[in-house]
């Protein structure tokens, strides 16, 4: 079992850290908010006053932060990489641009630490249930060494390559589909409303037909609520579809559906609703259609 | 058990007619091709020389044709409606515009026959397995009377309303999602190829993650083949997304994802590939991206 420094105890990170605790790892958490650190301690973990303090006694420094800029801030500006014992492993599970992940990995390795690119998919529900998909890129030896930690977090592990950035690349493709499927569900349910079909009935039928998607069944019911619980915010997809389009620009690939879907998340955020549940991208459609 | 005249023994109609036979109904089939009629006879059904001849001894005239124009041709120009005994039921399972369905229903009822709007979803796989979703709009009394026939065809029955066109409206919303999901899967797998991710590995991961859709799992594997078996043709979605956009125009609803997806099916058909499997919409993306 490993000593894990877990940075970023948000909607995804908190249940991931709790699962690591349950599977026997020692977890020291750090977050900018005190509340999740107290919850981690109550569950048997430890908390510290900084990411660097957490890293200083860890085998594995796990980063479930919002983006690559936060990962850099923690590792380089915040001193966590220097604090991590030599040979320690930086495990980056946040969704970041593949090129950025490769660059961070190079800087980590230049300082004598090791790096694992391991983004996850499955949302907060998957994080809680321990059924996340993990797309892991690192050497075979490091993968084997880290398997107990990876299994402590995820339900479905995929060793997708040896090079940092290969996990991030699959995650980008994953987010393309997730973002487009949420917007498509909104477009469909808004059309149902506009043509006089009961959207709840439509959702019941579509959710069990060839029209179904994981997102339709997960986000669809919340699209029918005016102020649903926030399980993942609009601004997360503003960011993630932004990463998708950035990867498309980098590779010179046309992504017209992803670009269109992005506009709806952007406009929802631009109306001041970026912290609403991402199902509320349907508001943009209702506004357009006068529903 | 009913005497059913079944018009249109194609990729969807043939297995639906066979399921009706298996559940004890008497089925007389008609199709412009002789081969499926021979197959129906071999399975215990009957065949005739025209749709009108099939209708003349039927309780239920079932139309699994390509579009509303074909339904009109069979019913009105081809004389099947006149041949159907008074009080007989026209059951339209083809995907048609809601406004057209309502208009056909009015003409059928003016001639003393009854009408059921009952489009289906689930593809050829669902048709074979008897697991189609049926979106049925008709009076409560007629629904109850026809239940044995409906159950002989579909696995999931939804009585969605009393008025002809209400089933078609839900089917339009269904097809919006189906068409967008196929194009989104193509966009995602083409991006994977472009950024150097193995698309088969990406498909394995995405198919079990929050990125999954029924279409990704059904069409995705065929997107990785150059000349896959045709289970549903590109031109079907040229038509069906056309119906979606027509419904959007009628209701003055903006459907940007459906409109974008339609362009890819159109361009694939425009290159002479309209009869290819609809998974091959990915060719348009590969062409665009120089894959």
Encode pLDDT of A99-133 as tens digits. Answer: 999 999 999 999 999 999 999 998 888 999 999 99
**Contacts B189 to A, Cβ<8 Å:** 173
User: Domain residue spans in chain A?
Assistant: 3-163, 169-289
**Residue indicated by tokens 């193509």:** B186
Per CATH, which fold does A169-289 belong to? 1.10.1040
For B91, list phi and psi in degrees, rounded to 5: -115, 110
Of B215, B248, B257, the CB nearest to A183: B257
Q: Say yes or no to pLDDT of B192 above 90.
A: yes
Phi-psi group of A34: left, alpha or beta (phi > 0 → left; psi -120 to 50 → alpha; rest → beta): alpha
Tell me A136's DSSP state: E
Q: State the pLDDT at residue A291.
A: 86
Question: Looking at CA atoms only, how far is residue B269 from chain A in angstroms?
Answer: 19
Query: Measured between CB atoms, does A194 come within 8 Å of chain B?
Result: yes
Task: State pLDDT tens for residues B245-291.
Answer: 999 999 999 999 999 999 999 999 999 999 999 999 999 999 999 98
Q: Say yes or no to pLDDT of B144 above 90.
A: yes
Band of pLDDT at residue A75, cut at 50, 70 and 90: very high
Q: State the pLDDT at residue A82.
A: 98
| pLDDT, mean of residues B53-65 | 97
Average pLDDT, chain A: 96
Contact: B187, A169; criterion CB under 8 Å: no
Q: What is the 3-state secondary structure (H, E, C) of A214-231?
A: HHHHHHHHHHCCCCCCCC
**CA within 13 Å, CB half, B134:** 27
Active site residues of B: 171
Contact: A213, B169; criterion CB under 8 Å: no
What is the H or E stretch that residue A19 is in?
A: helix A13-22
Active site residues of A: 171
How far apart, in whole angstroms, are the C-alpha atoms of residue A47 and residue A70?
19
**Cβ atoms within 10 A of the Cβ of A52, count?**
21
| pLDDT, mean of residues A250-267 | 97
Query: Measured between CB atoms, does B270 come within 8 Å of chain A?
Result: no
**Contacts B283 to A, Cβ<8 Å:** none
Cβ atoms B86, B55 nearer than 8 A? no
**Contacts A100 to B, Cβ<8 Å:** none
Contact: B251, A209; criterion CB under 8 Å: no
Which pTM value belongs to this model?
A: 0.90
How far apart, in whole angstroms, are the C-alpha atoms of residue A9 and residue A13?
4
The alpha carbon of residue B236 and the mean position of all alpha carbons in its chain are separated, in whole angstroms, by 8
Contact: A158, B202; criterion CB under 8 Å: no
A135-144, A219-228, B13-22, B120-129: range with lowest mean pLDDT = B120-129
Question: Does 3.40.50.720 match the CATH number of domain A3-163?
Answer: yes
Query: Measured between CB atoms, does A93 come within 8 Å of chain B?
Result: no
Of A205, A208, A210, the CB nearest to B170: A205
Cβ atoms B132, B138 nearer than 8 A? no
Query: Measured between CB atoms, does B115 come within 8 Å of chain A?
Result: no
Question: Looking at CA atoms only, how far is residue A212 from chain B in angstroms?
Answer: 6
Same fold, B3-163 and B169-289: no
Average pLDDT, chain B: 96
Query: Measured between CB atoms, does A120 come within 8 Å of chain B?
Result: no
**Contacts B232 to A, Cβ<8 Å:** none
């Amino acid at each position: 079992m490993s000593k894990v420094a877990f940075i970023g105890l948000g909607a995804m990170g908190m249940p991931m850290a709790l699962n690591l605790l349950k599977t026997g790892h020692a977890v020291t958490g750090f977050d900018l908010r005190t509340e999740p650190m107290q919850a981690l301690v109550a569950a048997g973990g430890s908390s510290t006053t900084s990411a660097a303090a957490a890293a200083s006694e860890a085998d594995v420094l796990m980063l479930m932060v919002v983006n690559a800029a936060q990962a850099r801030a923690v590792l380089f500006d915040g001193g966590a990489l220097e604090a991590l014992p030599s040979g320690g492993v930086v495990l980056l599970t946040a969704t970041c641009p593949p090129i950025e992940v490769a660059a961070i990995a190079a800087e980590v390795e230049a300082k004598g630490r090791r790096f694992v690119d391991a983004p996850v998919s499955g949302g907060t529900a998957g994080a809680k249930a321990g059924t996340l998909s993990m797309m892991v890129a690192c050497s075979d030896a490091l993968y084997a060494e880290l398997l107990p930690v990876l299994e402590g977090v995820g339900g479905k592990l995929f060793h997708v390559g040896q090079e940092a950035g290969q996990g991030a690349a699959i995650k980008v493709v994953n987010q393309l589909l997730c973002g487009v499927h949420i917007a498509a569900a909104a477009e469909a349910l808004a059309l149902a409303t506009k043509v006089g079909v009961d959207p709840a009935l439509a959702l019941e039928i579509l959710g069990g037909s060839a029209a179904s998607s994981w997102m339709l069944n997960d986000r669809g019911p919340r699209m029918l609520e005016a102020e649903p619980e926030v399980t993942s915010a609009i601004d997360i997809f503003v960011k993630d579809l932004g990463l998708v389009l950035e990867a498309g620009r980098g590779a010179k690939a046309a992504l017209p559906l992803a670009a269109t879907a992005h506009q709806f998340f952007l406009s929802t955020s631009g109306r001041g609703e970026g912290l609403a549940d991402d199902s509320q991208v349907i508001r943009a459609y209702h506004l357009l259609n006068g529903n």
